[in-house]
Structures are given as structure tokens and as C-alpha cells.
Structure 1
Amino acid sequence: MKPLLVVDSPKRWPLHIPGAELVSAYDYLSDPAYAQGPGRKVFNLCRSLRYQSSGYYVSLLAEARRHRPLPSVSAIQGFKLAPVIRAASDELADLIQQSLKRIKADKFELSVYFGHNVAAGHDRLALGVFNAFPAPLLRARFERDGSWRLTSVRAIGLGEVPESHYPFVVEKAEQYLKRRPRRGRSSPPSKYDLAVLHDPDSALPPSNAGALRKFIAAGESLGIRCELIERDGYGRLAEFDGLFIRATTAVNHYTYRFARRAAAEGLVVIDDPQSIVRCTNKVYLAETLSRQRIPIPKTVIVSKENATQAIRSIGLPCVIKQPDSSFSAGVTRMDSEAQIAEMLPPLFEQSELLIAQEFVPTDFDWRVGVLAGRALWVCRYGMAPGHWQIYSRDEQGVHEGDSTTMSVDEAPKDVIKLAVRAANQMGDGLYGVDLKVVHNRAVVIEVNDNPNIDAGVEDSVLGSWLYEAIMQHFLRKFEEKRL
């Protein structure tokens, strides 16, 4: 179905935007024909979006109809909230200073048309503002008091756009409307759209290019149209039914902001914000797994005040972990008490709490992939050559150990059972549970959100079924939301 451009009065609307159907706010709100078509894009270009205005109700009813309004109601509310404005200003601080450094005045207004500005020098800032406050037409105000800061953002009607800008608005609107995820020729018509967030510049992405292609193919076979998006796609989340994060996650990171925005917009999200918070912090993991009596190596939470005593209680050698470490980075082995004074102070500069864990050397770690309480795949990750972790780093780069993939039925039952139990403490999303078997007893090392799924590794036994199983999960969640 064509996207809808909802305006106050089509007769007075001076622009022709190819590829969209023009409709009045009155007709959209009152004509039952416009209530059909879940997933339809609705671009709300009404003059006013104030509370209980017709423009406000366009976005509100669009959400009730499972349409995809731009702006969403949450975005409309964000225009009025000072904490949201301050947070956006802080997030865009470097970009604001760079973009406005040549401005002589102490106040500046930036017009944003579908994420762009007529001046190329301000285009990146315009996209940043659009990503923070997704709406078709915006005006952002900046003030300088020593440094530039964002002071207000509001949606504007076409009446506030200079006529000389009309051709630019049409061009950018048409470009925006033409965005379509690619679909294979033999794929069935799509019922749902899924954004797959990835970072093509990452040295250690959670999914390689081959896996991303297989996810897309699996989704399309089920009627889920997948589109790879990157960090600059933040403002487009409301266009999709779901978000699948295939970039390494962290709380103080853009991936977490994507997850929060997507969840707030009602999308199906993997990895969901709660899972990111829980899994990326090893202090939370240690406390939760201990309280649930899930076997883990001897572990203590370390502060500056109890560091020496805590490490002695573990015994040496032991492993010191930064709470948000990943891919074996931020994890250090401590072999002697002399290292306590040397190694801990720099770590405490980054976090007031650390994890000290009993050192349990093994030839390999178990990794069990769990989705919604069900084990899907199992790998054994060998230690990197000459190292005690599965990853090692030196001047030549990152080195990995060998890996072996097997079916769930081939793996030890106690390993699978414990992995599922540990994953269930984090939520009902997608997790990679790391375990070791020590003295014939399985113990959980950690539970990871955003687990590795690489073509040629994790899928080497299950093949395309692994990708289809994950896309089936998205499909079930999409269908549940439509009930």
C-alpha cells in the first residue's frame, strides 16, 4: 500500500510527492477505509501536533491501527520534555560544535526536512536532530553560551517552510519514501519489516556478512522483509515492525539507545533493553546467578575497600573482570598479590565495582545458544594458541582458538539444562551461555546477549534452519502483536 501523507487540507497542499497518497486529517480519522492495512506508513504533516489536536490524533490512531506514523506519539511528547532536549544536546554535542563553529551569532535555527538541511555543511547535524526527534519537518533552535547547545525542537507545518525550499523538500521526501529493503525475486510478499542493525566497520561483529545474508534470506522466505541499517538509521525505527541487533551491544552505547527507542515504539526487539542491561554487566550476572543457586566458579564482587581481602578469599591465580567487558577484553588474570596494587587502580577508574572469579583453566568453553528458553545450537570454543582465553590480542591483531559445532542432542545434557536455566534468568530473548566443565561439573561463566552467529561456525550443523528458527521467533512475536 502507498504511504499516506496526512495534511490538514489537501486542496491547499502545494506539493506533489510521487509515490504517496495525499489525504486530509479528517478523512484519515473518520473514514474506515484508512483504518486498514497494518504496517502502512503514515507521514503526519499537519500544522499542529499539540495534545488533542487533529494532528495529535492522526499519530495516536495510526499507532492504534498498527500503522507506522512519523512522528510517533512518543516523539511528539519528546518535543516538550526538557530532559529529552538536554539528553539529545549532550548526545549531539560534538556534532553541534563542529557544524556551528562558523556561525557568528549566538542563536541559530536549523530546518530539517526528512533528515536533511538545504546547506550541505549542516546535513549531518540535521540527520542527528532527525534521529533524536523523528518527524518529517522540524525546526531546531541552538544557543551559544560558551559552547553551542540545543535548546528546543518542534515539528513545523509546510506553511513555515520557505517556498524556495519546496523543491528540496519534495526531493528529500521522495528519497525517503523510496527506501525499500531489497527482496529476492522468488520471495513472497512481505507482511512485516525487520531492521537489522549492524556495524560494517566492526573488527569482531556478532554476525559476519555471510550470516547477515542468510538472516535476510530466511526472513524473506517467511514474509519478513529485512533491511540492514547502521547507526544513522536511528530516526527510521518507526518504519519497522522489529529490530534485530547484530552489532556488539553495551549500555553506554548507541545499540542500547536503538533498543530503548525500538521498544518504546512497540517493535519486537532482539536484543531488548533489559537483556542488554543484564547481560552486559558482570556484577548483575554474578549476583543473579548466585541468588538463583546456578553453579558458577567462586566469585566475589570487588570494591576498592575490600579488594585485597576479596581476592585472597578467591585465591590466586584468579580472573579480574570489568563489569562491561566482552570478547575477552577487559578480563585479566592475576597471578600474585604484587599485582593487586599495580593492576587494580586503573580498573577502578572505570568502574567502582569489579568481579574477581576463581581461575578454572580448561581446553575449551561450551557455548549454548538459547532463544526464548530453547537451546538451538552448541559450540565448543577452544582457547587461542598459547593463551588461556578464546581470544588473544597482540600487535598483529586478534587471534581465536578453534571451534567445533554440534547438535543440541550431541552435547552433555547437564550443560544444556544449566545453560537454559541461566538464560531464563535474563529474559526470553536470544542468548549465548558460556560454560565450563570442571571436575565433571558444569558451571556457568556468563550469559551473553547478542551472541555470535557466524556463517561457517555456529550454523555448520544446522545450516539454514538456524536462521529460519530465529526468524520464526520474530514472526510469532509479530503475529502476537497483531492479535
Structure 2
Amino acid sequence: MSDWVILATALAGFDHAATAHKVLTTRDYLARPELFRGARPNIINLSRSYSYQSRGYYASLLAAARGQRVIPSVETIIDLSARKLYENAIPELEDALNKGLAAQAGETPSRLRVFFGTSADPRLERFCRLLFDWFRAPALEVTLKPGSWCAIPRIALLPFAKLDSDDRDLFYKAMARHTARQWKDAKARAPARYSFATLVDPDEALPPSTIDSLKHWSRIAARMGVAVEPITRKDLPRLANFDALFIRETTSISNHTYRFARRAQQEGMPVIDDPVSMIRCTNKVYLDELMASNGIPVPPTVMLIGPEDFSRAADQLGFPMVLKIPDSSFSRGVSKVGSMQELKTLASAWLADSEVLIAQAYMPTSFDWRIGVLGGKPLFAVQYLMAKKHWQIVKHDTGGKPLEGGFKPFTLAQVPPLVLDTGLRAARSVGDGFYGVDLKETDDGVFVIEVNDNPNLEHGVEDAAEKDEVWTRLTNWFIERIDG
């Protein structure tokens, strides 16, 4: 059966010669679920209306319930039902629109029709791709307000029935290009039940997993019927061609990694890291409050909003103390201060960029525990040793490549029970995904330093004790959620 199924309210208005894929009425799709039982086609919903409780709405809703990919998804239909639901996308879209218009002279239309991320205006190629990244829909109509800065008052789903003959010619060509994008060539993907995308940045200095480690995972996954394919930030338009997403770049809610996570979630794909985990884990203020509310021990902590909090931090924590920017990662944006003057100098500088900082009691140890947790269960355990002549596991201010300490792997059975239990409780309070919980084991007890949503998983390091069981369980986590 074809990978693609086209839904149209009335087949008489659709040119069957324009596609090699199966065309079906929306009514038949809704009323005859047995047509695709046991199959997972990609659905293009071209219904006459997408309004709430219309046949078009229910087609997208039931496609999701049947485990089939559909464009537009119900989430996209809802997002585009009111400007307040999509206005967060407008600044980025207007920027791309105006850059495209400024690059080449020409008249600015009052409306723009975009089909599968393309339009008749070559100036707006990048804008149209970005629009499709935000809102995956067969046809969109963008209302434009020309001026020195062209504004976007409205974005709306455009039903196929409202296209004129010229628009339909463009639409059919765009649909043919879109549906021709295969997941892999037939020979490469024949043995694989599933295809996983792995988001990587080949130029990242300290990636959570190197390409070599991901190749190791790929070999293990292949034996389980899974094809693993690396993708980059340019591949967002084809993300829906995969069954799952594993993000192996340093995550941030302010860059493309968050958009990839959100898009995967919208497509109903299992994703590591999911958007909620990214939001929670990338902010140390939130984590500190979350741990405290769940009774999980953390170092004594003081929140710094302004200079008036410096003395309170000194009184409660003493010196030295550790100062942190809330969204720091990989030991960056984390510093030890040894006096009130150092605290004032560094905190004042950081508060110019971040309205909130946190200060924590300094807990000197020769190593940090890292407990890897997947789906609420322990995955691996390792001790990261402090970098030479440094108080952290990574030393960044070396004038060159960051200096890392060594590591010591442990089987899960070798981990002290209190360390393992505390790590599991911390991860479970965040979510059901993949987390790396950093802990300090001291004479006063075990304390959670942070929960990472994007933990390292390096072949020969994190998997050194539990071996390939780590990668096997990771693969099964995705498969179990795909199979539902």
C-alpha cells in the first residue's frame, strides 16, 4: 500500500492524475477504519473545512487516534484557529518575510498562498519553508500588510476547495515534491520496522554523544529492526518522515532544538528530549523549587534577585559558595566565589543579563555521581572525576580545549542504595524521559546538584559498566512508545 493517502471531501474536484497515491473521500476514511487496519499511511487531509467538529477536523483527530501521521494535525488546526494561539511565531516569520522581500525588488502582495512550504514568489522561498516548519499544512493563506515593515495580520488554513485552477496547478506540483520525499531508498529501509532521527551538530565541541557513539547505537538498533539516521537543524521539514527523535545536541528552549522537540511532540512521535523536560531541566531555579517541593535533598540555596540579596546569601551559605546562571550547562555559567567582593563583582555582572541567579553552598568532593535514568528506571551509573586542579568536572577557562576530569563506571548493582534512590526520585519528579542526575555524596548525606535533560551518552564511558544493555534499553524505550 502507498505510504500516502489523500483525503478529499469530493473526489470529483480532485485531479487523480496529479498523484500516484491513493485518494479517498473524507467520509469513507471516517466511516471505514478497517481500510488501514495494521497499516500506518501518511494522511494528507484536503477536506473542505477544518472547523471544529467538521469532517475535516475529525479526519485529523482520528488519524492521530489510529497512529497515522496526518497533515494538518489537530494541533495545527487548533493553533491556526485564533491569532493569539500562533502569535509567538509571528516575529520570526515577519523577519524572514521582510528579508526575502528586501533581497529583490518587486511588488508586495496583500496575500500569499503557500503549498507544502512553497509559493509562486521565488523571493519568499526561505519564508515559505519556515512557515511550513511552524505549521505543517497542505495549503496556507497568509494575509500581508505592506509597508516599510511588512506585517502578518493573519495566517489561516486554506481548504483545497477554495483554490482556483492556477493555484491547483501549483498545489499539485508542490504535493508531488512533498510526497516524493521518501524516508530512505527502498533497499535501505526494507529490513527496518522503524526509522529514528538523531539530531546532531557535527561542529559542536562538547556534544552529548559523538558521531562514533551514535554509529555504535545504530549497529545495535539495526539488529532490533530500527534504522538510525543522523539529521541536522536543516532537516526540520522532513522530521515527520521518521518514527522517533533523539536529540543529541546541547538543548536550549531558545534555539532550534526546542522547535524540533515540539514538532516531534505535535507529530505524535516519541522524543528525547521532550519539550516539557527541556523547559524544566534547563532552568536551575525551577529545578531547585521542584526538588524542594518533592522532598529531595539539594545543597542549601539562596535566590539572588538583586544586590540586596548578597548579604543574605553570605550569611546563610558562607564562603566559598557556588554562583549559577539559571540556564547554564556543561559547567558553564557556574562559578565559585570566595569572598563578598567576588560575589558582588560576579553577581552584578551576571544580573545584567539574567534577572535571577542562584547561590548554593559549596560542597567539595573529588567526584560527582551521575545516574542515568530512562523512563523512571536506572540506566547507567558513573562517577565523573574533577578536572585536574579544579573544583568542577570540566574546566573551561583553559585558553583552548576544555579540560575534563576522568571517569569511573559502576554497574547499577554497585551503586550505594541512597545514591540510586535519590537519583531516581529526582528524575521521576521531572518526567518520563532520559535524564542524567548529578549528585554529591557527602558525610551529611546525598544531594542532587542538577537534573540534566540532555545527558552525555558516550560509548566507552556511560555504557562502560552496563555495556550494550544501555543502548538496547534506549531503543526499546522508543519502540514501546511507538507501539503504544
* Residues 431 and 187 (structure 1), Cα distance of their counterparts in 2 relative to 1, 3 Å cut: farther
**Alignment-mate amino acid for residue 182 of structure 2:** R
Distance in structure 1 (CA, Å) of the matches to 2:304 and 2:207: 30
Deviation at 1:413, TM superposition (A): 3.1
Within the alignment, does 1:344 sit opposite 2:347 as a pair? Answer: yes
Aligned match of 1:473: 477
Distance in structure 1 (CA, Å) of the matches to 2:51 and 2:426: 46
Within the alignment, does 1:359 sit opposite 2:362 as a pair? Answer: yes
**Alignment-mate amino acid for residue 323 of structure 2:** I
* Residues 323 and 31 (structure 1), Cα distance of their counterparts in 2 relative to 1, 3 Å cut: same
Aligned match of 1:451: 455
Within the alignment, does 1:40 sit opposite 2:49 as a pair? Answer: no
Distance in structure 1 (CA, Å) of the matches to 2:395 and 2:20: 52
Contact (CA 8 Å) 1:405, 1:461: kept in 2 or not?
Answer: yes
Deviation at 1:226, TM superposition (A): 4.1
Contact (CA 8 Å) 1:116, 1:172: kept in 2 or not?
Answer: no
For 1:306, what is the secondary structure of its paired residue? Answer: helix
RMSD (Å), alpha carbons: 2.9
Between 353-362 and 286-295, report the one with greater CA deviation: 286-295
Deviation at 1:430, TM superposition (A): 1.1
Distance in structure 2 (CA, Å) of the matches to 1:307 and 1:429: 36
Contact (CA 8 Å) 1:250, 1:256: kept in 2 or not?
Answer: yes
Contact (CA 8 Å) 1:206, 1:450: kept in 2 or not?
Answer: yes
Q: Following superposition of structure 1 onto structure 2, how do residues 180-195 of structure 1 map, counting pairs within 5 Å?
A: 180-181=183-184, 188-190=191-193, 192-195=194-197
Contact (CA 8 Å) 1:184, 1:220: kept in 2 or not?
Answer: no
Aligned match of 2:264: 262
Deviation at 1:106, TM superposition (A): 5.7
Contact (CA 8 Å) 2:101, 2:123: kept in 1 or not?
Answer: no
* Residues 10 and 19 (structure 1), Cα distance of their counterparts in 2 relative to 1, 3 Å cut: same
Aligned match of 1:21: 22
For 1:460, what is the secondary structure of its paired residue? Answer: coil
**Alignment-mate amino acid for residue 21 of structure 2:** A
Aligned match of 1:143: 145
Contact (CA 8 Å) 2:5, 2:42: kept in 1 or not?
Answer: yes
Between 33-42 and 235-244, report the one with greater CA deviation: 235-244
Aligned match of 1:311: 314
* Residues 43 and 329 (structure 1), Cα distance of their counterparts in 2 relative to 1, 3 Å cut: same
For 1:61, what is the secondary structure of its paired residue? Answer: helix
Q: Following superposition of structure 1 onto structure 2, how do residues 34-433 of structure 1 map, counting pairs within 5 Å?
A: 34-101=35-102, 102=104, 105=107, 107-156=109-158, 157=160, 160=163, 163=166, 166=169, 169-170=172-173, 173-181=176-184, 188-190=191-193, 192-236=194-238, 238-304=240-306, 305-394=308-397, 395-433=399-437
What does the per-residue CA deviation read over 1:128-149, in whole Å, with 9 as the maximum and x for residues that have no partner? 0001110122232332454223
The count of corresponding residues between Structure 1 and Structure 2 is 479
Contact (CA 8 Å) 2:208, 2:248: kept in 1 or not?
Answer: yes
Between 336-345 and 57-66, report the one with greater CA deviation: 57-66
Between 340-349 and 428-437, report the one with greater CA deviation: 340-349
Deviation at 1:123, TM superposition (A): 1.6
Between 352-361 and 255-264, report the one with greater CA deviation: 255-264
What does the per-residue CA deviation read over 1:356-384, in whole Å, with 9 as the maximum and x for residues that have no partner? 11122222222111112221111222223
**Alignment-mate amino acid for residue 78 of structure 2:** Q
Distance in structure 1 (CA, Å) of the matches to 2:179 and 2:351: 46
For 2:364, what is the secondary structure of its paired residue? Answer: coil
Distance in structure 1 (CA, Å) of the matches to 2:346 and 2:222: 50
Distance in structure 2 (CA, Å) of the matches to 1:435 and 1:390: 12
* Alignment gaps of 5+ in structure 1: none
The two structures have a TM-score, normalised by structure 2, of 0.88
Deviation at 1:77, TM superposition (A): 2.0
Distance in structure 1 (CA, Å) of the matches to 2:39 and 2:414: 43
The two structures have a TM-score, normalised by structure 1, of 0.89
Between 113-122 and 365-374, report the one with greater CA deviation: 113-122
Contact (CA 8 Å) 1:134, 1:236: kept in 2 or not?
Answer: no
Contact (CA 8 Å) 1:318, 1:356: kept in 2 or not?
Answer: yes
**Alignment-mate amino acid for residue 298 of structure 2:** I
Deviation at 1:56, TM superposition (A): 2.9
* Residues 426 and 158 (structure 1), Cα distance of their counterparts in 2 relative to 1, 3 Å cut: same
**Alignment-mate amino acid for residue 346 of structure 1:** A
**Alignment-mate amino acid for residue 427 of structure 2:** A
**Alignment-mate amino acid for residue 396 of structure 1:** G
**Alignment-mate amino acid for residue 364 of structure 1:** F
Distance in structure 2 (CA, Å) of the matches to 1:250 and 1:227: 22
Distance in structure 1 (CA, Å) of the matches to 2:71 and 2:100: 26
Deviation at 1:95, TM superposition (A): 1.7
* Residues 251 and 307 (structure 1), Cα distance of their counterparts in 2 relative to 1, 3 Å cut: farther
* Residues 17 and 408 (structure 1), Cα distance of their counterparts in 2 relative to 1, 3 Å cut: farther
Contact (CA 8 Å) 1:316, 1:336: kept in 2 or not?
Answer: yes
Distance in structure 2 (CA, Å) of the matches to 1:266 and 1:164: 31
Aligned match of 1:5: 6
Deviation at 1:317, TM superposition (A): 1.1
Deviation at 1:181, TM superposition (A): 4.5
What does the per-residue CA deviation read over 1:50-88, in whole Å, with 9 as the maximum and x for residues that have no partner? 334433332223223222111111212222211234211
For 2:327, what is the secondary structure of its paired residue? Answer: strand
Contact (CA 8 Å) 2:324, 2:358: kept in 1 or not?
Answer: yes
Deviation at 1:15, TM superposition (A): 5.7
**Alignment-mate amino acid for residue 380 of structure 1:** Q
* Residues 431 and 303 (structure 1), Cα distance of their counterparts in 2 relative to 1, 3 Å cut: same
